[in-house]
Structure 1
Amino acid sequence: MDLKELGSRLKAERERQGLTVEHMMELTKLSRVNVHAIEDGNKKDFPHPVYAKGFIKNYAKALGLDSEEIGNEFSKFYSVDGSADKNIQDPCIDENLARSDYSDVSTKTSMSSIFLILILIAVLAGLVYYLHDNALLDFWNTKKTEIVITEEVVENVAVDEQQKETTPEQNDEISTETPIEAALETVQKEAPIVGSSEDVVVISEPEESASASERKELPIAAIQPIVTNTVVITAKSGEACWLEAVTDGNNQEFVLQETESISLPYKESLKIKFGNAGGVEVISDGKPLVLNVAKGKVKTIEFPISE
């Protein structure tokens, strides 16, 4: 059995189940080029062997076949590097592990929400307590002020009645005095009352807030410099891409699932080989780079140092 026979076997199983190429594209998230390459056994359209093995296993799993057996048969006809296979993520993700991770995240989120709600309740309780105490204090001060003013009015009325009830003899004595002496005597009698009224009426003015000239202007945030010598690669929605990066002489391999991103900084040189160049978006030094390549095609790009 060779690659073409293996592909024919997968194609026959697909047709037996009544599935179209579009159905397989939806189930496996593979492009049309990759689906035809698998069924036709066409090595020219295959990406890196490890990446191609992942496609074959994913395709077999969608048909209900033994993905490990199909993957091993594929490895016999298309060489696969075992060390690289360990470093590259298998597209067939364990659903139970994903669910457990999701439940852990949900639990942490719920605990954080409850803790935040408790903090807000404590802050609101403190604010209500503070405002309530201030309201009681203001009410008590207002009540005391009203009582003092009432006493002052009563004292003034009592003094007026005493002046009206003076005897005729006292009126005669006052009339015999000189106008200057009468005025001085009147001032002396009224002086204590005036002094007491001043003590009650005088209310201290609240201190004014700081003038506008004393207000300090907030510092303006410094403009962040543009990052240079960095390439950011993001897999498009519904796409996945294998890539080989040679960064300043160091060779690395990666697999990006849909919407995943990776940042590759370098000092002198960077060379990237894309297994699915049409399925990724590339940003170099903060600027988007247009590849103009169809999905599923292999492309190599070299990046120089940004000046």
Structure 2
Amino acid sequence: MPMVGEQLASAREAKKWGLEDIARLTKLRSDQVLALEEGRYHVFSAPVYVRGFVKSYAKLVNIDPAPLLEKLNGELNKDKKFQQAESLTGPQRGLIEWCAYALSRVPWKIVVPLVAVLMLIAIFV
């Protein structure tokens, strides 16, 4: 079965449209359209953009986007840039980072006067 980009290019050629026509209708640059058709997904910054562009392109040339997107997921997994999604939570924090974060969240306008009052009471009692 042909790759996603090849299917899109074939559908575009069947409609006798050029790269510029697709670029104008999808609001992409013609080099981005060519990259999609050639399967050079690494030129895009994130897989979400590739999926969105493929979906728009497929609808434009009257292809059902669902099977294309399934095939696209397999193709994207082969690209090293898109294999591992970055963690949304970041790395686990250690004890020091957690303490620093906790102290940064303390309402100091309340704590400092309270500590000063407690120290004065301790001194005079």
**Shared fold (TM-score, shorter chain, > 0.5):** yes
Partner of 1:138: none
Higher RCO (CA < 8 A, seq sep 6+): 2
Could you say what the CA RMSD is over the residues aligned between the two structures, in angstroms? 2.9
Partner of 1:7: 5
- Equivalents in 2 of 1:25, 1:13: separation in Å? 15
CA positional deviation for 1:74: 0.3
Partner of 2:68: 70
Q: Gaps (5+ residues) in structure 2?
A: 91-125
Partner of 2:50: 52
The one-letter code matched in structure 2 to 1:69 is P
Conservation of the 8 A alpha-carbon contact between 2:41 and 2:50? no
Partner of 2:34: 36
- Equivalents in 1 of 2:45, 2:66: separation in Å? 19
Bigger proportion of residues as helix: 2
The one-letter code matched in structure 2 to 1:15 is E
- Equivalents in 2 of 1:76, 1:54: separation in Å? 16
Q: Percent identity?
A: 30
Secondary structure of 1:78's counterpart equals helix
Bigger proportion of residues as strand: 1
Partner of 1:288: none
- Equivalents in 2 of 1:28, 1:56: separation in Å? 10
The one-letter code matched in structure 2 to 1:61 is K
Runs of 4+ in 1 over 4 A off after TM superposition: none
Partner of 2:105: none
- Equivalents in 1 of 2:26, 2:70: separation in Å? 19
The one-letter code matched in structure 2 to 1:27 is L
1:47–1:33 CA distance, 2 compared to 1 (3 A): farther
Residue correspondences, number: 85
The one-letter code matched in structure 2 to 1:36 is L
**CA offset digits 1:99-158 (Å, max 9, x no partner):** xxxxxxxxxxxxxxxxxxxxxxxxxxxxxxxxxxxxxxxxxxxxxxxxxxxxxxxxxxxx
- Equivalents in 2 of 1:75, 1:57: separation in Å? 12
The one-letter code matched in structure 2 to 1:23 is D
The one-letter code matched in structure 2 to 1:56 is V
CA positional deviation for 1:46: 2.8
Secondary structure of 1:30's counterpart equals coil
Aligned residue runs from structure 1 range 119-268, under 5 A: none
Conservation of the 8 A alpha-carbon contact between 1:33 and 1:45? no
The one-letter code matched in structure 1 to 2:13 is E
Q: Gaps (5+ residues) in structure 1?
A: 85-245, 251-307
